[in-house]
Structure 1
Amino acid sequence: MAPKQNIESLPMEVLHCVFSHVGDQESIKQSRLVSRTFNDAAAPYLIEAASVCVTSKSLARLEELCDHEVFSKSITTITIILSHYDVGLATDRSLFMHDCNGRLLRNMEMRERMGAYKWRRMVASKCGKKVPPFSFQDRSREDAIQREIEQQLWQRTYFNPEIPKIAEEDFNEGEATPFQQVALRVYVTYRERCEDQERVRQGNRHIDRICSALANLPNLCNLRFDDPYLIIHDELQASDFPDLGFDRRMLEHFDCLLSPSSWCGSITTNATIVPLVEMLSELCARLGQSGIKPTVLSVQMTAPAHLRPLALSADQQAGVKLLMSRAACARIVVDAWDRATTVGEGNGRSRDEMLALCSFTKPFFAAPKLEYLRLDLRGYTDHGKTPTIDLSDLLPLENPWPHLDTVILDYSPAKTDDLRRLVALQENTVTELQWDFGWLVRGRWDEAVEVLRGFQKLNKVSLAYPRGERYGEGTYRTDNSLNEIHSYILKQKGVNPLMTEVEHTN
């Protein structure tokens, strides 16, 4: 009879496999207390992801994690936050207060989109009644008193004229109402954080610190750059405002006022905000030069009003290529293209401005081991504007990707010749193609479909909402002929549905 085995006698590889499937961090923490063997096996899974923004506190925390004997080996994912504290807001109280008003209205809109609000609006409209103020949760009739309190909070917070009055020249701080005092104190905190951010950026010290920290992560494989619309780092607490009589339920609506700004700014700051462009150009180049080569890289950013500062030098482009030299998955999403005070105005971007963005996208996708490519210019060329660039400007179509399997090019403009070059490079590798909202800037769609049929191993394709040539600016509705187009590209049908009978005859 074989001797009984203790669980600790299992090979370390088996224990690693077990802990890699445990998603609960608390369970992993408790497992470390079982024995030294369990501690050694579980420790690498305690912290797998970390994020950093340009503040002294965040950078210090990243350095602490990356210098840690255990955690430095367990971290596989790093998210670099591109959103930042706007110097223009920090140095102009009046501008800050105007922006606060916009942030509050935006916060209100986000809450309006919650399911409970939609449900109550639908019921009210069917009953022919006026839509009641928003209730944060769909509560029962027995909660009417609580609901009424929340409705009052809604009205007092989002339709309060007191905050914009702070921007007036004759405003007297000594007579500030409790609402105004909250806004004033938030402004002081925002200004302090911006000053801290600018101290950290002096001489590009934040670039040095991030590069040095990430160099200590031997298992880093996923690097993300994120520029979210609204990011809430902190919650305002009642203990911070003991003299105003506000509880957390009221103060939660003001959390958004302390949020960093995305690169596109807001309606108030869109034309004046200066994004931290070095976080893409210089940081990516320096990371590549430092020997950091993740396998998964993604960039999600909002398009600033002025794209020219994004332009990379030749040395920086070379550094980005080094960063991407081992990448199997590369993703860029650029959103929020409107840059005027009204949606639909000023959305056009000149060619030289767009080429500044291309100076980043081209070396970014110059990854010889790429298997997954996604370029999503979400919303680009809406409102009747015509693209000023094409796919050959955005992607390096000179050399093939031997392992490229999936290509997603949503909202990307292309010429028929660009598609022909892409198919010639990748006809025997690509199995999935998605070109939704794609704009054909030169050539005919029937010819473009014929070209795309040249992919030999394609088993999935999507060309939803095509634009350009016969489709004009696009209708944002599904065309029934698309199913036939997809079937033709996949070689399930033998006749190009976009060709006329005369063309077939010839």
Structure 2
Amino acid sequence: MPSTAKNLEHLPNELLVQCFSHLCKSSHTSSFIDNSPDIQRLRLVSKKCHANSSPLLIFSATVYITSASLFHLEELCSHPIFGQSINQVEINCSYYDVCMAESRGVYSYRCGSKLYQNLGNNPVDEMALYRMSDDWSALNKRGFLEKKPKLTENQQWLLDVHGQYKKLCEDQVRVKIDNAHIQRICTALMRLPQLHSLSLTDDSYYPVRRHRALSDADILERCLLTSTWKGSFPTAFFIRPPVEIIPDLFTALAQTDIRPTRIAIDVKPPNNLHCLKLPEPAQQAINTVVSRARNLSFKMQQWARKDSITEDNSRPRSEMLALCSLTSSYFDCSTLESLNLSFDEFPALHEPPTVSISEVLPLATQTWPQLHTLSLRYIPLTTADAKILVGSLRRQLRSFNCWCPWVVQGSWIDVINAFRELDTLQSFKIDYPKGGEFTDLPWDRSSTFPKQEVEEYVLRKAAENPMPRYFRTAEPDDVVP
């Protein structure tokens, strides 16, 4: 045995695990390349290195609401080695659309439109994809299949794939009977002693491969993609996404000892936000589960219905208040150190917001005494909200990022003055402010606001608020009547 290996044999197991874990963490944070080959090499050095480095091969897991994925999660969490090292679990709550499973025409229309959207990214086989997209879309024509026409090869292939999609949908319906999927997930999570991070996402993203011909496997995978909570283009207005997973999951977790220190929710907005309204018991369950959290993130992005600006993209106040019943209970946590709230692209097409941050967050009841990092994206606020927020975070907030804030009532001059009252602030970023005085300015004018000067003023590196001077210099003919 080499001398290095002999020396390693005399080191305590705890020290080896600590060293190996630092090696694993540093490589994962320094690049996007998986470092598992390095851990695999460590396992070959000696039996002792094998035993102490093996758990570091897997430290995160993702589960989908399918029988196969749930089974794999249960196996992984029950494993004597890997079950001791997994500390991050992602629950993917995207879904197979029952409407598409029941209608071959609707399914073919969705697949055809999805393929058509990507034609410009694949000029290598553009003509072949055009023909395929047209063949698929034809299946959705009224009475087309009833006439039993002679199908093209592309059409027959898609109908066969639809059979696979239907089976996947039936499987998902089966595993959710009596909320069995929630119980299986919670039971599996209870076997993970190192669990500290839990995330919930509806991501069904499939990477676009530019300037490269799509293989049959690529096209098949696109046709079997799940849907986000926004819904698929042909069914978005009359399908209800599985939003019940949030109250059901948190209610089940509240009955266990699972209290993650990091929780993230990243979903797309359903067509009607009323389905997100939580009853009081569900809100209390969320409060219980987040009671020890240090890092909470909530993201809801892509607000345009059916990804189209031609649709009615207004969000009535009653809808937004239903969403607020979720976010306000979710962020009601006194141990919080980092808060990330993002409503990316809200409101769609510059529709006026119908709520403000005091309704999205529990500003009236929570002061977050340990919060040092705050990130807000596309969040509306009033001057009064800004003063309440600053009053709560004046002596602890160190980093504040504000992207596309919208002043729905009050003045930007007063909001910036309020932000300057944050005594411990070390980093402040603000981009693309809207509302307030910006409402009467054209886009080319409002997009040139003095960002750096404002940031320096808030950080007390400059004595004068640049906003009054900026608004005064607007030429009269710049103002939109």
The amino acid across from 2:281 in the alignment is: D
Q: TM-score, normalised by structure 2?
A: 0.88
RMSD of the TM alignment (CA)? 2.4
Give the match's secondary structure for 2:300: strand
Report how many aligned residue pairs link the two structures. 449
Q: Give the drift of 1:395.
A: 0.8
Which residue of structure 2 aligns with residue 87 of structure 1? Answer: 98
With 400-409 and 14-23 compared, the bigger mean Cα shift is at 14-23
d(CA) in 1 for partners of 2:443, 2:48: 62
Distance 1:344 1:155, change over 3 A: closer
Preserved CA contact (<8 Å) 1:51 1:80:
yes
Distance 1:99 1:248, change over 3 A: closer
d(CA) in 1 for partners of 2:234, 2:443: 31
- The answer on 1:258 being equivalent to 2:204 is no
Instruction: Pick from 282, 285, 291 the counterpart of residue 248 of structure 2.
Output: 282
Q: Give the drift of 1:320.
A: 0.9
Q: How does 1:18-167 map to 2 (within 5 A)?
A: 18-20=19-21, 21-22=23-24, 24-108=35-119, 111=121, 134-135=123-124, 150-157=125-132, 160-167=133-140
Q: TM-score, normalised by structure 1?
A: 0.83
d(CA) in 2 for partners of 1:454, 1:256: 51
Distance 1:81 1:481, change over 3 A: same
The amino acid across from 1:457 in the alignment is: T
- The answer on 1:443 being equivalent to 2:405 is no
Preserved CA contact (<8 Å) 1:104 1:254:
no
- The answer on 1:465 being equivalent to 2:438 is no
Which residue of structure 1 aligns with residue 192 of structure 2? Answer: 217
The amino acid across from 2:12 in the alignment is: P
Which residue of structure 1 aligns with residue 355 of structure 2? Answer: 389
Preserved CA contact (<8 Å) 1:230 1:260:
no
Distance 1:97 1:496, change over 3 A: same
Give the match's secondary structure for 1:175: coil
Q: Give the drift of 1:388.
A: 0.9
Q: Give the drift of 1:420.
A: 0.8
Q: How does 1:107-506 map to 2 (within 5 A)?
A: 107-108=118-119, 111=121, 134-135=123-124, 150-157=125-132, 160-168=133-141, 169-171=143-145, 175-231=150-206, 249-339=215-305, 342-397=308-363, 398-472=365-439, 475=443, 478-499=447-468
Preserved CA contact (<8 Å) 2:102 2:166:
yes
Preserved CA contact (<8 Å) 1:263 1:273:
no
The amino acid across from 1:492 in the alignment is: K
Distance 1:286 1:33, change over 3 A: same
Q: Give the drift of 1:501.
A: 11
1:126-156 CA distances to partner (integer Å, 9 max, x unpaired)? xxxxxxxx13xxxxxxxxxxxxxx4554444
d(CA) in 1 for partners of 2:357, 2:181: 34
Q: Give the drift of 1:480.
A: 3.9
1:218-267 CA distances to partner (integer Å, 9 max, x unpaired)? 101111111224358xxxxxxxxxxxxxx982452342110000110132
Q: Give the drift of 1:380.
A: 0.8
d(CA) in 2 for partners of 1:220, 1:341: 36
Q: Give the drift of 1:340.
A: 5.4
1:392-418 CA distances to partner (integer Å, 9 max, x unpaired)? 111111222122111111100111111
Give the match's secondary structure for 1:435: strand
d(CA) in 2 for partners of 1:426, 1:344: 41
d(CA) in 2 for partners of 1:287, 1:231: 30
Which residue of structure 1 aligns with residue 32 of structure 2? Answer: none
d(CA) in 2 for partners of 1:426, 1:217: 35
Distance 1:191 1:489, change over 3 A: same
Gaps of 5+ in 2: 28-34, 208-212, 473-481
The amino acid across from 2:83 in the alignment is: S
